[in-house]
Amino acid sequence: MSESVRRVVIIGGGPAGLMAAEVLSQAGIVVDIYDAMPSPGRKFLLAGIGGMNITHAENFDTFVSRYGEQSANIKPLLQQFGAEQLREWIRNLGVESFVGTSGRVFPREMKAAPLLRKWLHRLRETGVKIHTRHRWIGWQDEHLLFATESGEKTVKADAVVLALGGASWPVLGSDGAWFRLLQERQVGLAPLQASNCGFDVEWSRFFAEKFAGLPLKNIAVNGKVGECIVTENGVEGGLIYALSASLRNAIAQQGSAVLLLDLAPDQSASDLLKVLEKPRGKRSASEHLRRCTGIDGVKSALLREHFSTDVFNNMEQLAAAIKAVPVTLIAARPVEEAISTAGGVQFESLDKNLMLRELPGIFCAGEMLDWEAPTGGYLLTACFSSGRAAGQCVLDWLSQKTVNGKT
C-alpha cells in the first residue's frame, strides 16, 4: 500500500462502526472493520425482530432530553445527524419508513435485515473490508492485537475508531471486554451498568410461581401509562425500562426503590370508591373487586401480595391501594440481561472530536460512550449519529496531520 494512502481500522461492526466506515470510505480512506462475531450487526438484527424501531418523531428539544444527564454531550451529535437525517439516510438506501401512532419510526418492512443487507452491500462497493471472528485483545507495541481462529494477529492503522458497544447481550458480541483494555491505558471510564432493564423484587413464593410471565396491562407510574411483566425475580417491560436510570440510581443511594403502580389509571380514587361502595352481598372480596373495577387475575393478586385482608374490607383504603401499589425493587438485573448499557468512556476523556485524550488517533463512538437513553429509537439514533461524527472527526484529524506535514 502506498505511504500516502490512509488506512483506518474500525473495531466493532454495529451501527456506530458501520456509519463511521461509510463516512470514511466515501472520502477515499481505506477502511477495515474488525468484529468478533461471525457476521456484523448481530445486535442490530436482534433489535429488529419485534419491529425495527429506528428512531422517534418528536420535537428536537424533547428528543434531546431523552438522554438525561448526558443530553448536553449528545445534542451536538444529533444536531448534525438526528432523527430526520436518519430517516433521509434510510430512504437513500432504498428503505422507506413510517411514523407509528406512538411517534416511533419504523422501516416499512418492519425488519432490520433488509436495511442491513443493503447497507453492507453499499459499504463493500466503496471498498470497505469486513474481517469477522477477529476479537480485539489490546496492543502489541504500536499495533492493534486481535485474537483469530488461526492465532493472534497484529494490525497497523493511521487511526482507529472503537465502536465496541456496551456489556449487554454478550452472546451477540457486546461483552464490555474493552473496559479493562482502556482502563489499563488510564482512560476515564464510568462503571458499566444495566440500562433499560428489569429489577428484582422479593415476591412471595406463591406469587412468583403462579404469576411469573404474566403482563400487568394498562397500569401507570408517575402518570405514564403502559405495561410491564411479572417475572420470577421481579418486574420488567417498557414502563420499567423507561424509569431504569432513576430506579437504578435510587437503589444505589438508598438500597432499594419503591415503585408506586396505579392499577386503574383511567379512574380516580374517588371514582373507584363510588363503585366499590356498592353492596357486596354474598360475593367474595375478590369477586366484588372484579365486578366493580374489572381488576382480577395478576392485578388482584398483586394487591393481595401487598395489602392485608383488612384493606380489602375497607373500600376507602382499597380504592387508595389500587392507585398506589408499593412494589419495592432491591436490585437491577445483571447487565448481560439488559437491553442496553449505562456507563463507559466518559466524555471528559475525549476531546471535542471524540478522540481519546490519552490515546491520540483513537476515537470512540456508540454505546461504549457514557450515555444512556430509553427504548423508542433513541439508542439507535445516538449510535448512528456518534458513528457518523467519529468518522468525520477522523477525516478532520488525518487532514490536519497532512497539513502539519506528519504523514
pTM of structure: 0.92
pLDDT of residue 263: 97
**One pLDDT digit (tens) per residue for the chain, 407 residues:** 444 679 999 999 999 999 999 999 999 999 999 999 999 999 999 877 778 899 999 999 999 999 999 999 999 999 999 999 999 999 999 999 999 988 999 999 888 999 999 999 999 999 999 999 999 999 999 899 999 999 999 999 999 999 999 999 899 999 999 999 999 999 999 999 999 999 999 999 999 999 999 999 999 999 899 999 999 999 999 999 999 999 999 999 999 999 999 999 999 999 999 999 988 888 888 898 999 999 999 999 999 999 999 999 999 999 999 999 999 999 999 999 999 999 999 999 999 999 999 999 999 999 999 999 999 999 999 999 999 999 999 999 999 887 776 54
Angle at 33 between CA 108 and CA 109, to 5 degrees: 5
Domain with 310, as residue range(s), is 199-332
CA distance 347 to 54: 25
C-alpha distances out from residue 343 to 85, 295, 311, Å: 27, 40, 43
Strands 7-11 and 30-34: parallel
Q: Are residue 27 and residue 175 in the same domain, yes or no?
A: yes
Domain boundary among 282, 315, 332: 332
pLDDT of residue 46: 85
190 CB burial (10 A radius; 0-12, 13-18, 19+): middle
Structure-derived torsion over alpha carbons of residues 50, 54, 58, 63, reported in degrees to the nearest 10: 110
Q: Are residue 370 and residue 384 in the same domain, yes or no?
A: yes
CA distance 150 to 182: 25
Domain boundary among 274, 298, 332: 332
Structural domain includes residue 2? no
pLDDT of residue 1: 43
Q: Are residue 257 and residue 167 in the same domain, yes or no?
A: no
Structural domain includes residue 23? yes
pLDDT of residue 2: 45
Residue 154: partners with Cβ closer than 8 Å, 6 or more residues away: 140, 143, 144, 145, 146
User: Angle of helix 285-293 relative to helix 269-276, nearest 10 degrees?
Assistant: 120
Q: Are residue 359 and residue 302 in the same domain, yes or no?
A: no
pLDDT of residue 5: 78
Q: Are residue 38 and residue 151 in the same domain, yes or no?
A: yes
The closest alpha carbon to 291, from 281, 302, 304, belongs to 281
pLDDT of residue 4: 66
**Which residue shows C-alpha cell 405514564?**
224
Domain boundary among 304, 332, 360: 332
Helices (H), 282-377: 285-293, 297-306, 309-312, 315-323
* Chain center to CA of 147: 28
Angle at 324 between CA 322 and CA 327, to 5 degrees: 110
Q: Are residue 104 and residue 211 in the same domain, yes or no?
A: no
CA distance 214 to 210: 9
Q: 36: which 3 cell numbers?
A: 468478533
